[in-house]
Amino acid sequence: MIDIIIPLYNSKTIWYTLASIAYQNDTDVTVTIVDDCSSKEYDYSKILDFYRKYLDIQYIRLEKNSGPGVARQKGIEATHAPYIMFIDSDDSLGGVDVISKIRKHIIVEDKDFFIGRFVEETYNHQFYFRDNDQTWLHGKIYRRKFLERNHIHFNDTYKNEDNFFNQLLLLHAPRVGKIEDTLYVYRNNMDSLTRSNNYAYNYEGTIWYAYNISEAMREALEDGCDPKLVSILGTRCLVPLYYYYIEYYQRKDVSKLVEYGSRIYHMIDYQLVEENIIRDAFCSYIQYMLTTNYQYLLSGVSFEDFKKMLGDYHD
């Protein structure tokens, strides 16, 4: 009933991802590991032989490195259970009853997409609980039929590829269920350290963010999705894009950000978008305002200026 797909690239921690599945009180799942062409010194055969005694594990190796998106997509194609869950190879499941709780929800509720809670553990043992998140794949369960029927798929980007998948999914208006329990632990995150200090990562991430949102919108429109949903997504995303622009325009090449941002801008039908959407988006993305340290006040570039820049830009 449940497929667990784990993309893998040079992972030293896959053993605890698998341990967190093996200790479940319900282990009736199929685990599919997709090795995105890990380097030769990473030999997983010993670990896999060990865990095969306790779990049903399938291992696929890609010929060349293709990114976590493609790896997960190959995982989807190599499996067939009605529901799919993704786990990263440096994360783990939460409690001992996660699978059994998920199974109860799947059986009882007729939904295409379940959003469960996940907890982010930082390198210094701080915990952040994430409820109602719509960006990450963590703690989410997907109905295969819905993905297939609506061509929901991963692309070949390496960042925000999860955001692309989730936004494309949401634009097709799935029936969404909520699972209150903590399903997933985003572990021991050196990332949370690097994310704030390493702005090269952030900068690149923002380009891929803009690209993947514009691609999700484009495909959704081609698929005949509700243009109102597409316009709302695009409008909301202009807000963080604006803050990214303010943060980087004086020290980085922001031409790609503007190019992809303008694609988003031109796909929005402003008549379909109510005024409060922009207001709500500013409220939701308030953390960006704070991280840019009010630069936007001094930059002389208002949100309206930014939108005009996107509107004037042509490929």
Partner 1 sequence: MIDVIVVGEDKKIEKTLFSISIQTILDQIHVIVVSEEKHDYSGFQEILSIDEIVTKEKTVGGKRQIGFDKAKGEFVFFMNAGDVFFDVFALFNSHKIIQNYDVVIGGISNAEKKYSNYYLVGNLYRRSFIKRHRICFCHSDGLENGFHQLFFMAHGKINYSGDIIYYQKKEMEKDYSFYHNLIEDTKYAFDIARTRNYDSCEIAKKLYDDLLFFATFFHEKKEDYQNTLIEELKPIMKGFYDHKKSMREKDYKYISDINISNQKVDQIYFNELEKRIIL
Q: Work out how close the CB of 177 gets to partner 1 at its nearest, in angstroms, rounded to a whole number.
A: 22
Given a contact cutoff of 8 angstroms between Cβ atoms, the answer to whether 143 and 201 are in contact is: no
Amino acid symbol at 274: E
Q: How far is the CB of 215 from partner 1 (least distance, A)?
A: 35
- Residue (119 or 273) nearer to partner 1, CB: 119
Tell me how far apart the alpha carbons of residues 185 and 92 are, in angstroms, rounded to a whole number: 5
Exposure b/e, 71-88, CB count within 10 A at least 16 = b:
bbbbbbeebeeebbbbbb
State the nearest-atom distance from the C-beta of 264 to partner 1, in Å.
Answer: 38
Residue number with CB closer to partner 1 (10 or 25):
25
CB of 180 to partner 1, least distance (A): 15
Give the whole-angstrom CA distance, residue 25 versus residue 71. 28
Least distance in angstroms from the C-beta of 72 to partner 1 = 23
Q: With respect to partner 1, which residue has the nearer C-beta, 97 or 204?
A: 97
Closer residue to partner 1 (CB): 22 or 273: 22
Tokens of 72: 């997960």
In angstroms, rounded to a whole number, what is the distance separating the alpha carbons of residues 135 and 162? 7
Greatest alpha-carbon pair distance for the chain in Å reads 63
> Rounded distance, CA 161 to CA 189, Å?
19
* Cβ closest to partner 1, residue 22 vs residue 60: 22
Q: Would you tell me which residues interact with partner 1 (CB under 8 A)?
A: 15-16, 19-20, 22-23, 25, 50, 54, 92, 94-97, 121, 125, 127, 182, 185, 187-188
